[in-house]
Every structure is written in C-alpha cells, then in structure tokens.
A and B are shown apart, each in its own frame.
Chain A
Amino acid sequence: MKNFNWSKYSKPIILVAFVIILSVLKPAEFLSVSNFISILTSVAAIGIMVSGTIFVFLIGGIDLSIATLLSMSAVVAATIITKMGGSVIAVVIGLLAALAVGALAGLLHGYITTTFAIPAFLVTFATQSIFLGLAQVLSNNNKIACTWPAFAILGQAIVPIIFMVVFALVSWYVLRKTVFGRYVYAVGGNPTASEISGINVKLVSIMCYVISGFTTAMGGIILAAQSQQADSALGAGFTNDVITAAVIGGISLLGGEGTLPGAIFGAVLMGLLNNGLSLMNVDSTQSGLVKGLVIVVAVAFDAMHHADQSRKKAKKVKKGAAAPELS
C-alpha cells in the first residue's frame, strides 16, 4: 500500500467513507432510495449553479453576487408570473425573463471586469448589494407565493435532480469537448499566452460570466419552486455554498484548474454532510463546526495532492533531461 496514491483518490474515498459511516450508524434512515433522492434534491440548486459559476472560477474570477442575483432572478420570475395570472404561458415568460436577467447580470460583470480591468471581487461585491436592492424594491420586501402548478412542478420530486444532471452534463461537455472549453482553461492558466495564441480573452471571459449569471438564475428558479415562494432573502448563504462546493471539488480559485465532476462532487458531499448531521440529530449550532472541519480536511487532501504533483515535477524533469544521452 506504500505506493497507493491516497491524495489522487481522496474524493471518492471521502464520499465512500461518509456513506459507510452513515450506513453503519443509521442504516434504516440513511440507506433508503428516498433519503438519497432527498440528499440530491437538497443540493440540486447548488449543483445547477456551480455548473455555471465553474466557468468564472476557471478563468480566475469570482462571483460574490450569487446569493442576491438568484434572489433577484426568482423575484423577477415570480412578479411577472403573478402579474400575468399564473398561466403556463405566464410561467414560461417569467422563467425566460429571469434567465435573461441572470445572463444580463453576467454580461455586466464580464464587461466591467474586462473593460475597466477591475477585479471581479470588487465588481461582484458591488453588484451584490445592487441586486439585493432591486429584489427588495421589486418584491416590496414581501414574500411572493409561487404555488402555480406549472411553476411548482419544477421543484417537485426528482425534477430538480433532472435539471442538475442536464446542466452538469452540458457544462461538462462544453468544458471537456469544445474549443470554447479549451479556451476557458487556457485563459485561466495564462491570459497573456492565450492572447498571443489568438484567443479573444475578453470575449471568452465575458462569456464565462454570462454562463455563470444564467445558471445562477436557474438555481434561483429551482429554489423558488422548491420553497414555493420568492423573496429577496431566498438566496441567503448560497454564495458561500456554491464557492464551498467548488473549493471542496478541487477547483482552484486562482483559475485554470478544476473539473465539473469535481464541482458536482463538492455539491453532493455538502448534501451528504447536511443529511448525515441531521440524521445524527446534531444540533445546528454544532453542525457548522463539523461542516467547517470537513471542508478543511477535503481541502487539505487536495493540497496534499498538489504537493505530491510538484514533487513529481522535479523527478520528471530529471528523467526528461537525462534521456537524451541514452539515445
């Protein structure tokens, strides 16, 4: 076992370890199809959002406005649907409007960061309160009930999970298989070299923010459908959750590194953790502590993996250069 690469397989190991521990401790409650479905539905919105925000993380950007953008998008949808009387057509128009709002917000982020060279951290820090304010104004600071059947169905049974799977698959495909996906990694890894390689770095960056805004809006819609209401506080705490999922999933906030399966793993692990803690009747005051510790462990494993790779670097370089004299 000495040569077993623990760090490389840290993610599946952590996941399996969690499942085993919970299966042993709470076999009846944990090991049921309905419980697994409930775990996945609980993280569906995070999964949907991280499928898009990963693009921003990969180019080395950040989005601190996730929570308020998703609230605002949901409030936009709910307001329009209410005004139009809750018909199926009203729902469709409301959803399209919310997604457009998300994409536009992303466009704004992308345009400002690239054109004025302001760090994404600052831009989205500012826009988060703009979005919050708009959501409050639009909703009159009230909860808007979202019980129209055509809307509520989006949050029922496994529908959110289906959305998560579809968003994740599309995101995986784009990142893994398309030229745009390649450019995203290149821009995140070295923008100057990307520019010289003929990549329109500005356009790629703006696209990433648009995708991120779009999926954030979708996350807002799913959350509103799940809770059957929308207000300006709908997304509270979700900026942290999405960034945490990404970081647990091994996505470097410095850009250029990380995969979509990693991000989804991060989201699912958070769901497992919440589920396990509530099954074990851990008090909510303590569950924060436990969650924090698990995040530290997951991130430490990842850091070890990286340290391991940089040690290999030295080794491989030696091998590579020693080779010529053999020929």
Chain B
Amino acid sequence: MAGNTILEAKNIYKSFSGVPVLQDVHFEVKAGEVHALMGENGAGKSTLIKIITGVYAKDDGQIYWEGKPVEINTYQDCQKLGVACIYQELSVIPPLTVAQNVFLGREPRKGPFIDYAKMNKMTQELIDKYQFPLKPTTVVDNLGIGQRQLIEILKGLSQNSKLLIMDEPTASLSGQEAEMLFKIIQTLRSEGVSIIYISHRLEEVYMLSDRLTILRDGKNAAVLEKEDIIPAKVIETMIGKVVDESAGSKKMLHSNDEAEVRLDVKGLTDKTDRYRNISFQVRKGEILGLGGLIGAGRTEVVRAIYGVDKAASGEVYLDGKKLDPSPKNSIHEGIGFVPEDRRNQGFIPLLSTTKNVALTNYDIVKIQGTSISDADELAMSKRAIEAIDIRPADPNKEVGVMSGGNQQKVVLGKWLMRDLKLLIVDEPTAGIDVGAKDEIYSILENLAKDGVAVIVVTSDLQELLRVSHRILVMRKGDIVKEFKNVEVTQSMVLSAGQGVEEEAK
C-alpha cells in the first residue's frame, strides 16, 4: 500500500548550547504509511519533529519533500507542504466553539464576515465522516481533555494534509475514543495519507504501524519493517534494558479482607450529576483500581474525596473518622493526591524540585520562628530525589523544564515525604516512558506494602490490571462492576465500562 517516499530527513544534526541532541539522524516516511517514531523521553523524537515542522532550525542535514530538497523555517512552511502536526500539548482555545477552533485562521468568509453557517456545516461534515462524538457549536471550555484532543485531530484532518504528525494522541483518550482514533488512522492510511505516530503505548504502535524508527540518545537505533516489529526487541532497543511489559492482558486479583478499612465512601453524589450515590471502601495496603471510560465520573469522584470539588451529599470516612474534604484538611489527615492534568494541576513549573516537593510539607519542614530552614527544605528534596530517582538529581532545577516522567516523580515525591494513609493517583503515567512507568508502579506497590491505601484512576487497561488488587468500573457516573478475587482480562474491564455485559468464561 505504501508508495514513494514523501518525507525524508537526512543526516540531521542538532545541538543545544553545545550538547548534541540529534546526531546524523535519518528519517523517512512513505506515502500512505503509518510510521511510528519511538524512543524514551529525551531520545530526540520531539526535537526531530520540531525540526521537520520548522519550530527548531537544524544545525546540519537536509529535508526532502516528495524527493525535492526543501527549507522549512516556520510552521507555516510545513503546513504549505501539506504537513499537519497534532501537538501533545493541546493548543485549542477554550472560549471558542469546536468549529471555530477547527477553522481557526482559515475561517470561510462571506464578504468581510465569517460565514458561521458554512463553518459549522463543514465541521459537521468532518465530524460525520470520522464519527467523532462532538458538536460544532459546543464551546470547548465545557469539554474534557479527551474531547479537546479530538478537536486537535479534527483540525489536522480539516487541512487535507498529506502527512499528519500525531504526538501521543491517545495520552488522554479513553479506550473507546482511542479505538475510534485507530479506525480513523486506518481510514486515512487507505486514503493515502501518511502518519508519523509517536506514542509510549507500545501495543498501539505494534497494532498500527507499518514501519518503526527508534531513536536512542539522539541517534538512529533501528528502523524496523512491520514483520520485524517484535515487542521485546523494540523495548530493548529503545531503553537498553528488559522491562516486564508482557504480563498485561489478564490478571488474578487477590484481596485481603482481613485488613482494616481505611477509606469509607458513603453515597457521594455530585451537584451536577456527573456521579451519583457512590459508595465503596478501600482497605489498608490495598490498591484499588478505578476503571471506565473518560467522562465516566472517576476523576470527579476522586476530586470530591480529596476535596478539590465539593460533593452535594455523601460522606467520607478515613480510619473511621468523618472528613470535611478540602485539600488542606485532606493533607492534614494523611491523604495525598496526584491530579490527572500534570502540567496544569500538578506542579509549579517555574519553581525548583525543592520548592515543589516542600509545597505540601511546610508543616514538617523545620521553621525557626517564621524563617524556613533552607537546609532542612533542601534535605527533604534530596530525600525525594533519592527515594524515587528524579533526574536530573539537581534540587534547584526548575520542574517546568524537566521531562514528563520526572515531573510526575516530583508530583508524587512530595507525598512520599509525609506519613500517608491514602494516596489517590489519577492517570499516573500518562505520556510517560516505560522505564519511568515501571518505577512509578513500584512506588505505588511499596506504599501499599507499608499499609497505605491507594486509589489508581487509569484509562490504560494494562496499567489497571498491572497495579490493582481490586477493580471498580464506573460508567456514566455509577459504579457498575466490581472485580474481586477473580481472574480479570482487559476485555472484561472494557466491556463493563462500555456497558456490554460479557458472559463469564
């Protein structure tokens, strides 16, 4: 199916302040192929993409488009060639509608005015064609991140691009939404559109890609044809160590009903009906997985337990004591919370690792009079860096410039400095490379061993099975299924989340 080479980047070199980031990198995409680009965070994928899209200038090398050498100096240059990039960091504008976002800067006009009717109609046609669950006139502000991601994709599709670059497109999509995206990708491929697919989710890459380029340490590590894409080999090439990723499709769950009940949630109900009458318990040392589709109300429930948002009714008990949920009270009672949207909710980008780690912990940092002990604050930060291997191991590093995995470790690390009774993590490994994922899983497992109750909200089924001792599945604001002391498979969880009752095998 794949035809001639559409894009070729040859001998690309790039360094920042004298440190080489890309060295003699070759990258080639054929017409109508899905070409995956893999590598750990920091391997040079993003830099290569930014060079192709004109965000960065290359130091050396040449880019060819349909066989002809081209100079791409701005993002507009690459758009003109027919390349659209769907960025990992969402660039949708919240106060505008879906249609306004899709046609931003390219609005159809009627005389000097924007032809909104036409714009909405064109958007509706695209939505129908690819069956997105969106309406052209919805204001983006009211949509979740999964749906915003779909708008990004729609924007790329609306430009009739020959090459779509998708950077972690499924990072914030639910299983169902991701399935839909995969179908769209297949459709586009059959229409001759090429796709550069960047993802940390290995199974997606195996399933979708025709070819795979692996970067490691800024150099080409391998280019694999479809038949040569073997999971173990890919992972090994990518990170240079063996990771246990295979045991992910089913799991035997074990619960310890002897352990004391740590968290008891009774009849939690939302003001705006995003969840209703939610009751469940979590025991000491238990990791409870909360599965379901995006928008099922999982995030809203855990936010209400921690107290970021208030529930309309219902009660939360920790070790038998009734709580008045608010972040401050929750922290005081020994609850930690790692929010789903790391960049916007998790940390303070301009502040150092030290100050981010200390942020929730000034009740335990030594303070003389009113003066914070810098030494004690620094010592805490070093303990966190040590405990969960934050890199760079520089306590003064601004967290905003670190890689996603390390940012997440900072967010998590601050809770490890306290005596926790309950830790709630929401999409703990979204957009994080496999190595860091494994580390985060073992942190959660170790916490559970120490008696901490852990709630993991995740849309990644493999992750859900991997970490959970027990699984609750939510759908449209209700808990619809509990998996306890049974062998559970990904498809069982998925079916429950989608409301399809599957016969027990």
- Chain A residues with CB under 8 Å of chain B are 173, 177-179, 182, 185-186, 189-190, 192-200, 256-257, 309-325
A-B contact pairs, 7 of them (CB 8 A): A177-B371, A196-B339, A197-B414, A314-B47, A317-B403, A321-B40, A325-B217
Are B350 and A257 within 8 A (Cβ)? yes
Whole-angstrom distance between the Cβ of B347 and the nearest chain A Cβ: 6
Q: Roughly how many angstroms separate A316 CA and B390 CA in the complex, as a whole number?
A: 13
Specify the chain A residue showing the minimal Cβ separation from B241.
A325
Specify the chain B residue showing the minimal Cβ separation from A322.
B217
Q: A177-B372, A319-B19, A325-B241 are in contact. Are A196 and B345 (CB under 8 A)?
A: yes
- A193-B345, A256-B348 given; name 18 further pairs at CB < 8 Å: A179-B370, A182-B372, A185-B350, A189-B351, A192-B344, A193-B346, A193-B348, A196-B337, A196-B345, A199-B359, A200-B328, A315-B21, A318-B21, A320-B402, A321-B41, A321-B43, A321-B391, A323-B392
Q: Roughly how many angstroms separate A324 CA and B42 CA in the complex, as a whole number?
A: 11
User: What chain A residues lie within 8 Å of B34 (beta carbons)?
Assistant: none
Whole-angstrom distance between the Cβ of A223 and the nearest chain B Cβ: 30
- Chain B residues with CB under 8 Å of chain A are 16-17, 19, 21, 40-44, 47, 217-218, 239-241, 306, 308, 326-328, 330-332, 337, 339, 344-351, 355, 358-360, 362, 367, 370-372, 391-392, 397-398, 400-403, 405-406, 414, 433, 435
Are A318 and B359 within 8 A (Cβ)? no
Chain A residues touching B, majority SS: helix
Whole-angstrom distance between the Cβ of B14 and the nearest chain A Cβ: 9
Specify the chain A residue showing the minimal Cβ separation from B240.
A325
Specify the chain B residue showing the minimal Cβ separation from A194.
B348
Whole-angstrom distance between the Cβ of A260 and the nearest chain B Cβ: 16
Are A318 and B16 within 8 A (Cβ)? yes
Whole-angstrom distance between the Cβ of B416 and the nearest chain A Cβ: 15
Are A198 and B403 within 8 A (Cβ)? no
Q: Roughly how many angstroms separate A311 CA and B15 CA in the complex, as a whole number?
A: 10
Are A198 and B372 within 8 A (Cβ)? no
Cβ contact of B351, chosen from A185, A313, A317, cutoff 8 A: A185
Q: Roughly how many angstroms separate A71 CA and B239 CA in the complex, as a whole number?
A: 65
User: What chain A residues lie within 8 Å of B308 (beta carbons)?
Assistant: 195-196
Q: A200-B328, A317-B42, A325-B240 are in contact. Are A178 and B370 (CB under 8 A)?
A: yes
Count how many pairs of residues, one from A and one from B, have CB atoms less than 8 Å apart in the complex: 135
Whole-angstrom distance between the Cβ of B41 and the nearest chain A Cβ: 5
User: What chain B residues lie within 8 Å of A193 (beta carbons)?
Assistant: 339, 344-348
Q: Roughly how many angstroms separate A325 CA and B243 CA in the complex, as a whole number?
A: 13
Whole-angstrom distance between the Cβ of A325 and the nearest chain B Cβ: 5
Whole-angstrom distance between the Cβ of B94 and the nearest chain A Cβ: 14
Q: Find the residue from A178, A256, A322 having the highest chain B CB count within 10 A.
A: A322
Would you list the 10 A-B pairs with minimal beta carbon distance, nearest first? A321-B42, A313-B401, A189-B348, A315-B16, A198-B328, A198-B327, A198-B331, A320-B391, A320-B392, A177-B371
Q: A317-B403, A321-B40, A325-B239 are in contact. Are A189 and B435 (CB under 8 A)?
A: no
Q: Roughly how many angstroms separate A195 CA and B345 CA in the complex, as a whole number?
A: 9
Q: Roughly how many angstroms separate A179 CA and B42 CA in the complex, as a whole number?
A: 34
User: What chain B residues lie within 8 Å of A257 (beta carbons)?
Assistant: 350
Q: Find the residue from B40, B332, B360, B391 having the highest chain A CB count within 10 A.
A: B391
User: What chain B residues lie within 8 Å of A323 (beta carbons)?
Assistant: 391-392
Q: Roughly how many angstroms separate A316 CA and B401 CA in the complex, as a whole number?
A: 8
Are B397 and A316 within 8 A (Cβ)? yes
Are A190 and B372 within 8 A (Cβ)? no
Whole-angstrom distance between the Cβ of A209 and the nearest chain B Cβ: 21
Q: Roughly how many angstroms separate A194 CA and B331 CA in the complex, as a whole number?
A: 13
Are A182 and B355 within 8 A (Cβ)? yes
Are B19 and A195 within 8 A (Cβ)? no
Specify the chain A residue showing the minimal Cβ separation from B344.
A192
Q: Find the residue from A200, A256, A311, A321 having the highest chain B CB count within 10 A.
A: A321
User: What chain A residues lie within 8 Å of B218 (beta carbons)?
Assistant: 318, 322
Cβ contact of B239, chosen from A173, A190, A319, A324, cutoff 8 A: A324
Cβ contact of A320, chosen from B344, B370, B406, B435, cutoff 8 A: B406
Are B330 and A318 within 8 A (Cβ)? no
User: What chain A residues lie within 8 Å of B328 (beta carbons)?
Assistant: 198-200
Are B327 and A197 within 8 A (Cβ)? yes
User: What chain A residues lie within 8 Å of B367 (beta carbons)?
Assistant: 179
Are B47 and A185 within 8 A (Cβ)? no
User: What chain B residues lie within 8 Å of A189 (beta carbons)?
Assistant: 348-351
User: What chain B residues lie within 8 Å of A320 (beta carbons)?
Assistant: 42, 391-392, 402-403, 406
Whole-angstrom distance between the Cβ of A262 and the nearest chain B Cβ: 14
Whole-angstrom distance between the Cβ of A182 and the nearest chain B Cβ: 6
Q: Roughly how many angstroms separate A200 CA and B362 CA in the complex, as a whole number?
A: 14
Are B392 and A198 within 8 A (Cβ)? no
Q: Roughly how many angstroms separate A317 CA and B21 CA in the complex, as a whole number?
A: 10
Specify the chain A residue showing the minimal Cβ separation from B355.
A182
Q: A197-B360, A315-B19 are in contact. Are A186 and B47 (CB under 8 A)?
A: no
Are A186 and B344 within 8 A (Cβ)? no
Q: Roughly how many angstroms separate A76 CA and B449 CA in the complex, as a whole number?
A: 65
Q: A198-B331, A312-B16, A318-B42 are in contact. Are A185 and B355 (CB under 8 A)?
A: yes
Whole-angstrom distance between the Cβ of A7 and the nearest chain B Cβ: 13
User: What chain A residues lie within 8 Å of B403 (beta carbons)?
Assistant: 317, 320-321
Q: Roughly how many angstroms separate A186 CA and B400 CA in the complex, as a whole number?
A: 13
